[in-house]
């Protein structure tokens, strides 16, 4: 490609540059959720990447994702996507929330088409693109059902499809599978891996489940308790075949144990001295 060797080739796909997020609480108290966080995610043409933020409850994980989504302004520092500063929501950064969000009066396909409707895409194209994405998340048979007739896992597939139909550059998943039972959760993890391989997309994924993190991640950022800072970056070895059998392997368990130790160490009471 022409860009090889130029500066353009070095621009990270996603960059957090000294990002801090501070909320103002009720009585004017300041709540610091994210402190001076910097990280870079390189673009890897030809294959997607799953980046996991793993951290204790309330540490600031959702704040990071909402800032990348442009739903929450940075207090200091900034987020850049392809070198361009994020300053509001955009369809190139699609977010899926922990709580299932869709229009209950719209069928699956009408929900998935919604973003395209807003963008003024003609009806026929809309329908084609929506059906294509619905197929990819395995819901073809349910396209004309209302969300209330679907299981929790299926509802989250709709939420993912609604986001994917906009062809986002970055997919933001904020603990999307927290409410699902383990079996459905495994299926959904496989779906995330499939999407990252097929769509060459960068996926930021939040969880506080260590096994889930190790299973889906190429890179894990282990976060401190609030305010979130990066304690460790773990590059997960590329497991040839990520399938449920992998989870029982020694190689997998070793990585999992290492990450667990990092998390325990970060939450243990400090023994007198800092750092």
Residues of this chain that bind Mg ion (CB under 5 A): 61-62
- Regarding 5 and contact with ligand ATP (CB under 6 A), the answer is no
Which CB atom, from 61 or from 157, has the smaller least distance to ligand ATP? Answer: 61
- Regarding 176 and contact with ligand ATP (CB under 6 A), the answer is no
The DSSP code sequence of 215-235 is: HH-SEEEEEPSSSB-EEEEEE
Q: Which residues contact 198 (CB under 8 A, 6 or more apart)?
A: 48, 136
Residues of this chain, 42-101, that bind ligand ATP according to CB under 6 A: 55, 57-63
Minimum distance, C-beta of residue 241 to ligand ATP, in the bound complex (Å): 31
Q: Is the peptide bond before 206 cis (omega within 30 degrees of 0)?
A: no
Q: Return the exposure string of 174-193: e unless at least 16 CB atoms fall within 10 Å of the residue's CB, then b.
A: bbbbeebeeebbbebbebbb
Q: Which does 191 bind (CB under 5 to 8 A by kind): Mg ion, ligand ATP, none?
A: none
Residues of this chain, 223-252, that bind ligand ATP according to CB under 6 A: 226
Q: Rounded CA gap, 21 and 75, in Å?
A: 5
Residues that contact ligand ATP, how many (by CB under 6 A): 13
Residues of this chain, 197-226, that bind ligand ATP according to CB under 6 A: 226
Minimum distance, C-beta of residue 159 to ligand ATP, in the bound complex (Å): 17
224 φ, ψ (degrees, to nearest 5): -80, 165
Which CB atom, from 36 or from 43, has the smaller least distance to ligand ATP? Answer: 36
Which CB atom, from 29 or from 250, has the smaller least distance to ligand ATP? Answer: 29
Minimum distance, C-beta of residue 149 to ligand ATP, in the bound complex (Å): 29
Q: Which residues contact 212 (CB under 8 A, 6 or more apart)?
A: 177, 185, 189
Q: Which does 48 bind (CB under 5 to 8 A by kind): ligand ATP, Mg ion, none?
A: none
H or E element in which residue 193 lies: helix 182-199
Minimum distance, C-beta of residue 263 to Mg ion, in the bound complex (Å): 16
Minimum distance, C-beta of residue 173 to ligand ATP, in the bound complex (Å): 12
- Regarding 33 and contact with ligand ATP (CB under 6 A), the answer is yes
Q: Rounded CA gap, 159 and 100, in Å?
A: 7
Minimum distance, C-beta of residue 60 to Mg ion, in the bound complex (Å): 8
CA distances from 57 to 53, 61, 216, 227 (A): 12, 8, 20, 11
Per CB under 6 A, the list member of 25, 46, 88, 120 interacting with ligand ATP is 25
Q: Rounded CA gap, 160 and 138, in Å?
A: 11
Which CB atom, from 33 or from 41, has the smaller least distance to ligand ATP? Answer: 33
Q: In this structure, what DSSP letter does residue 270 have?
A: P
Minimum distance, C-beta of residue 89 to Mg ion, in the bound complex (Å): 18
Residues that bind ligand ATP (CB under 6 A): 23, 25, 31, 33, 55, 57-63, 226
């Amino acid at each position: 490609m022409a860009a090889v060797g130029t500066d353009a080739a070095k621009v990270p796909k996603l960059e957090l540059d000294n990002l801090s997020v501070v909320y103002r609480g009720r009585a004017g108290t300041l709540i610091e959720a994210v402190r001076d966080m910097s990280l870079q995610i390189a673009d890897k043409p030809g294959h997607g990447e799953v980046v996991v933020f793993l951290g204790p409850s309330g540490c600031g994980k959702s704040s990071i994702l909402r800032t990348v989504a442009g739903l929450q302004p940075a207090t200091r520092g900034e987020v850049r996507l392809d070198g361009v500063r994020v300053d509001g929501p955009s369809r190139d950064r699609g977010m899926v929330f922990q709580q299932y969000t869709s229009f209950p009066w719209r069928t699956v396909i009408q929900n998935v088409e919604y973003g395209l409707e807003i963008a003024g895409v003609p009806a026929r194209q809309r329908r084609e693109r929506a059906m294509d994405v619905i197929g990819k998340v395995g819901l073809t048979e349910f396209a004309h059902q209302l969300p209330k007739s679907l299981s929790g896992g299926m509802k989250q597939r709709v939420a993912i499809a609604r986001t994917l139909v906009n062809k986002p550059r970055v997919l933001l998943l904020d603990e999307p599978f927290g409410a699902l039972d383990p079996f459905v959760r495994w299926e959904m993890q496989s779906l995330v891996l499939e999407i990252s391989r097929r769509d060459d997309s960068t996926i930021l994924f939040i969880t506080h489940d260590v096994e889930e993190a190790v299973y889906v991640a190429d890179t894990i950022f282990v976060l401190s308790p609030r305010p979130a800072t990066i304690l460790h970056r773990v590059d997960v070895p590329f497991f040839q075949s990520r399938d449920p059998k992998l989870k029982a392997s020694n190689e997998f368990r070793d990585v999992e144990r290492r990450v667990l130790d990092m998390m325990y160490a970060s939450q243990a009471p400090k023994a007198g001295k800092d750092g």
